[in-house]
Amino acid sequence: MRISTAWLKDYLKLDIPADELAEKIERTAVEVDGVIRPDEGQKKVVVGHILTCDPHPDSDHLHVCSVDVGEDEPLQIVCGAPNVAAGQNVIVALPNSWIGNHTKIKKSKMRGVKSAGMICALDELGFDEKLVPKEVADGIFILPDDATPGDPVFGYLGMDDEIIDMSVTPNRGDMLSMNGTAHELAAIYDQTPTMPTVDLHEDESDDANDQLEVRVDADEHDVPMYKMRLIKNVTIKPSPLWLQIRIWNAGMRPINNVVDATNYVLMQYGQPLHAFDYDKLTNGHVNVRLAKAGEHLTTLDGEDRELLPTDLLICSDDTPICLAGTMGGLDTEVTAATTDIALEGAVFDAVKIRKTAHNHDLHSEASMRYERGIDHGMTETALNAAAAMIAELSGGTVANGVCVGRDEDVQPVTVQITLSKINHVLGTELSLDTVADIFKRLDFPTTLTGETYTVTVPSRRWDIHIPADLIEEVARLYGYDNLPATLPTGQPTIGKLNETQQIIRDSRKLMESAGLTQAISYSLTTEAKAKAFALHPSDVTKLDFPMSSERTTLRLSLVSGLLDDLAYNNARKEHNVALYEEGRVFYSQPEQVRPKEIEHIAGAITGSMVKKSWGVAEQPVDFYQIKGIVAGYLKSLALEAPVSYVATTAHPEMHPGRTANIFVGDQLVGFVGEIHPNTAKAYKVRETYVFELDLTALIALPKARQQYQPISKFPSITRDVAMLIDDTVTNADVVALINKKGGAHLQSVELFDVYNGSHVPSGKKSLAYTLTYRDQNATLVDDDVTAAFDKVLSALTEELGAEIR
């Protein structure tokens, strides 16, 4: 809503700079986008009187004009506008003037003829094309005959106005009008506003209800009020300049005297009005109803629209003529030939109008106001004001009476609130008088009983109906700056992370310590990527109506997004990348409306984690490095059950020979490995190693009980074994067997060498382990250890076919 400060002066004595006013509005009422000064940056633009206007000798459309600009000598100016003529008062940009859009005008020659300046159209003074009246859109603007040559032009065009551009929140629809804004400012500055009065003369010999029959078929909820007036014998013409100025400074285009009058009253009262060409109504019959499937209407913008059953319609003899509260129909538009006007003033349901505006993508000044609500108490007043104004501007007469399709008994709302409640909520110690004064400034009639205010809220503030609404009024007018700043008191509470949150936070730190940087990727991706790397099979969760094909489906894994991140980095020549992400994946649940949200933690590493430096070569990441990261992380979680890694070919996106499922006890909690070369190609990444862990599961798993183990005072004895063994036998097989046969004193088994190079026969590998024996309570005897060790050796030979070396 654009508020002209010049117009505001009709209401209030405001000797306040516009910027200060804007700041006050912003601090007390609604957000302000800025102050518009139409003449800003423009200089030396004056009224000119065209003395002579002759065709240019070398052009078929240019004219050479002699223009009186209030100086001793007239200026010679070449003009290309089709409507230029001698005798006109026009806008002249003098030589070395500045006009709209930071343009400087200099003396020039046009086709050999000197031109000392420019005769301007409105858009050349920075007018938005949408605000320029259509009749002057293609030519220069003609100023009134009484304009004085040489005077700055800005005052004649309302360009010296300062316009406050407010961004009105949905609750403050009352401020989408001059009246509402004036009431607000009156409260802020403690003034009594001068509100507009209506001076309506009805032609008692001409009864509107004889000629216009209005019927509302829609229910009271959808159409609480519907009234019309009839104005006869109008002459359609452009509005006087003062009105055009108010219209364009309000951000609308002047059309003609009738439409401009309805828009003027719309801006004044916030009440949308619509003027129909009465002669186009069939039999003078008007009815209001919901649209039926399949009906069509061609609106004012020339669009043929298929109507929806939620659209409220104005009809004439049941033929649609207007989309209620949104846009009129082309057939009943007021044209130059119109003589009689049927003028509508109505209230429509906000939700219905919102739907219509949304469905037809038709957002108008009218629909915007109906959506936020309007003052039901002012509808008839506004209708009368517009009728009177049309009659005055067009020479018409207002027929006697209002044609009422539906009327509503509008009552003010009464709200009670106590002073202590106000102070309790605001944390203030306001006095009875302070609060009473605020209600008085708001012009809300109030009675005080004890400390209870009974506040009568006028219909113009339909946003107020509960005590909390009154508290807001008090707070904002008292001033938020004046509120004290304290912290909540009361019973103390403990603020700490719960176990899940603590483990998640610790997990992030552990990953970072291991050299992985945290990524936050998109949860929404393509269906294919959402399904990729899923730990368990699941249906996906898809958006009903996605914005783009790239973001349709909620992810089932984090690795998929991390690979996208790696690809982004690779494309920018960053080839050493180690990222992890902690976040949700979404498992669809057959019987539930919502998916199950599970915390995962995942990593992806490509290139080298070690920075190449002097004396340090890059070390391309491999399976065992990422496995080491995962193993170190899982160790820190202190899970009770043992962690095991089992080779798997179950993940089609992963390398079939370099991927392990990770189990805690017998519960699958994740996987680790190299991505399949085909996956790498599809995601446009290089050789990459990844892991994905179900963090929710890890958090839920039992943790090892922490208990001190006495440190043995007795020395340990170690034995090394090296063996040649079939390639198919895994380290896990060997370790399991050693542990099984190791005897009571075997403490640990450490792998210290793996070799499968040229010195071992094909199909074989060499493994070497250190076995450590220790007795907690006594010094071990060498012979006992040897006996236990021999048992291990023979088991390895017999059960795994190892050749001990």
Six token digits for residue 772? 């450590």
Non-local (6+) Cβ contacts of 534 within 8 A are: 556, 557, 585
428 touches other proteins by CB under 8 A: yes
For other proteins (CB under 8 A), the number of binding residues is 99
Q: Which is nearer to other proteins, 118 or 577 (CB)?
A: 577
User: Based on CB atoms, which residue is closest to other proteins, 323 or 519?
Assistant: 519
Q: Which of residues 454-493 bind other proteins (CB under 8 A)?
A: 466-469, 471-472, 475-476, 480-481, 483-493
Tokens representing 764 are: 């074989």
Q: Under the criterion CB under 8 A, does residue 172 sit at the interface with other proteins?
A: yes
Contact stretch for other proteins (CB under 8 A) within 52-60, 521-529, 663-671, 770-778: 521-529
* Among 3, 29, 136, 725, interactor with other proteins by CB under 8 A: 29
Q: Which of the residues 102 through 121 are near other proteins (CB under 8 A)? A: none
CB-wise, 513 or 739, nearer to other proteins?
513
Of residues 122 and 519, the one with the C-beta less far from other proteins: 519
Burial class for 399, CB neighbours closer than 10 Å (0-12, 13-18, 19+)? buried
Token code pair at residue 199: 């001076």
Shortest Å distance, C-beta 476 to other proteins: 5
> Cβ 264 to other proteins, closest distance in Å?
25
C-beta neighbour count of 668 within 10 angstroms: 16
Element containing residue 597 per DSSP (H, E): strand 596-606
Beta carbon of residue 488, minimum distance to other proteins (angstroms, whole number):
5
Smallest distance from other proteins to CB 310, Å: 10
How many CA atoms does the CB half-sphere of 777 hold within 13 Å? 1
- Tokens in use for 232? 């006869």
377's tokens: 């108490």
Which residue from 522, 624, 714, 752 is in contact with other proteins, where contact means CB under 8 A? Answer: 522
Output 91 or 422, the one with its CB closest to other proteins: 422
- Distance between start and end Cα atoms, the chain: 91
For other proteins, the binding residue among 294, 450, 495, 590 (CB under 8 A) is 495
Of 475 and 723, nearer to other proteins (C-beta) is 475
| Residues of span 529-558 touching other proteins by CB under 8 A | 541-548, 551, 554
What are the E-state strand segments in 355-445? 397-400, 403-406, 413-418
CA gap 77, 65 in Å, rounded: 5
Written as six digits, the tokens of 685 are 């990444």
According to the binding rule CB under 8 A, does residue 517 interact with other proteins?
yes
Q: Could you say which residues in the range 588-607 bind other proteins, by CB under 8 A?
A: 593-595, 597
Say whether 472 counts as a known binding-site residue. Answer: yes
Residue 627 touching other proteins (CB under 8 A): no
By CB under 8 A, is residue 148 in contact with other proteins? no
- Rg (the chain; Cα; Å): 42
Query: What is the four-CA torsion angle of 416, 418, 424, 428, rounded to 10 degrees?
Result: 110
Applying CB under 8 A, the span of 226-234, 386-394, 422-430, 770-778 interacting with other proteins comes to 422-430
354 touching other proteins, by CB under 8 A: yes
Provide the 3-class DSSP secondary structure of residue 414: strand
Asked whether position 180 contacts other proteins by CB under 8 A, the answer is: no
d(CA 679, CA 664): 27
Using CA atoms, how far apart are residues 214 and 314, in angstroms rounded to an integer? 10
Question: Which CB sits closer to other proteins, 111 or 542?
Answer: 542
Decide: is 654 part of the binding site for other proteins (CB under 8 A). Answer: no
Among 610, 699, 724, 760, binds other proteins (CB under 8 A): 610
Stretch binding other proteins (CB under 8 A), from 92-100, 439-447, 613-621, 748-756: 613-621
Task: Indicate whether 351 belongs to the interface with other proteins (CB under 8 A).
Answer: yes
CB of 165 to other proteins, least distance (A): 13
Residue 463, annotated as binding a ligand: yes
Q: Do 379 and 227 form a contact (C-beta atoms < 8 A)?
A: yes
Give phi and psi for 315, each to the nearest 5: -125, 160
When binding is defined by CB under 8 A, the residue of 279, 303, 433, 512 that contacts other proteins is 512
Of 454, 501, 678, 779, the one binding other proteins by CB under 8 A: 501
Asked if 293 touches other proteins (CB under 8 A), the answer is no
Residue from 35, 78, 286, 511 binding other proteins (CB under 8 A): 511
Q: How, if at all, do strands 89-99 and 118-120 pair?
A: antiparallel
Nearest CB to other proteins, comparing residues 293 and 485: 485
Exactly one of 218, 234, 426, 788 binds other proteins (CB under 8 A); which one? Answer: 426
Query: Closest CB to other proteins among 340 and 581?
Result: 581
- Selected binder of other proteins within 76, 171, 209, 319 (CB under 8 A): 171
Q: Does 415 bind other proteins (CB under 8 A)?
A: no
Listing DSSP states for 302-359 in one string gives S-EEE--TT-EEEEETTEEEEETTTEEBSTT---TT---EEEEEEE--HHHHHHHHHH
As a whole number of angstroms, the distance between CA 221 and CA 217 comes to 11
Give the pairing of strands 202-207 and 75-79. unpaired
CB of 220 to other proteins, least distance (A): 18
Q: Tell whether residue 65 is a contact of other proteins (CB under 8 A).
A: no
Minimum CB distance to other proteins smaller for 548 or for 707: 548
Q: Which of 372, 461, 600, 765 binds other proteins (CB under 8 A)?
A: 372
Based on CB atoms, which residue is closest to other proteins, 498 or 706? Answer: 498
Out of 520, 638, 647, 781, which residue is the one contacting other proteins (CB under 8 A)?
520
Q: Given the complex with other proteins, which of 566 and 771 has the nearer CB atom?
A: 566
Question: Is residue 616 near other proteins by the rule CB under 8 A?
Answer: yes
Candidates 197, 498, 758, 762; binder of other proteins (CB under 8 A) is 498
Residues β-bridged to residue 213 = 285
429's enclosing H/E stretch is none
Nearer residue to other proteins within complex by CB, 105 or 511 = 511
Reading the block at residue 50, the tokens are 């065209």
Nearer to other proteins among residue 699 and residue 735 (C-beta): 699
Helix (H, G, I), strand (E, B) or coil at 439: helix
Q: Does 622 appear as a known binding residue?
A: no
The rounded distance, in Å, linking the Cα atoms of 688 and 643 is: 23
Please identify which residue in the block is written with the tokens 């958090």.
699
Rounded to whole angstroms, how far apart are CA atoms 99 and 373? Answer: 40
Selected binder of other proteins within 2, 14, 26, 85 (CB under 8 A)? 26
Contacting residues for 668 by C-beta, under 8 A, at least 6 apart: 535, 536, 661, 662
Residue 524 in contact with other proteins, rule: CB under 8 A: yes
Binding of other proteins by 225 (CB under 8 A): no
Q: Give buried/exposed letters for 442-471 (b at 16+ CB in 10 A, else e).
A: bebebeeeeeebebebbbbbbbbeebebbb
Hey, what are 425's tokens?
């909520």
Binding residues for other proteins restricted to 558-587, rule: CB under 8 A = 565, 568-569, 572, 574, 577-580, 583-584, 586
Contacts of 642 (CB under 8 A, 6+ apart): 664, 665
SS3 524: strand
User: Based on CB atoms, which residue is closest to other proteins, 400 or 434?
Assistant: 434
Is 371 annotated as belonging to a binding site?
Answer: no
Restricted to residues 714-773, the positions that interact with other proteins (CB under 8 A) are none
Binding part of the chain for other proteins, among 164-172, 262-270, 407-415, 781-789 by CB under 8 A, reads: 164-172
- Contact assessment for residue 301 and residue 327, using Cβ atoms and an 8 Å cutoff: yes
- In whole angstroms, what is the distance from residue 277 CA to residue 386 CA? 15
Q: Which residues are annotated as a binding site for Mg(2+)?
A: 463, 469, 472-473
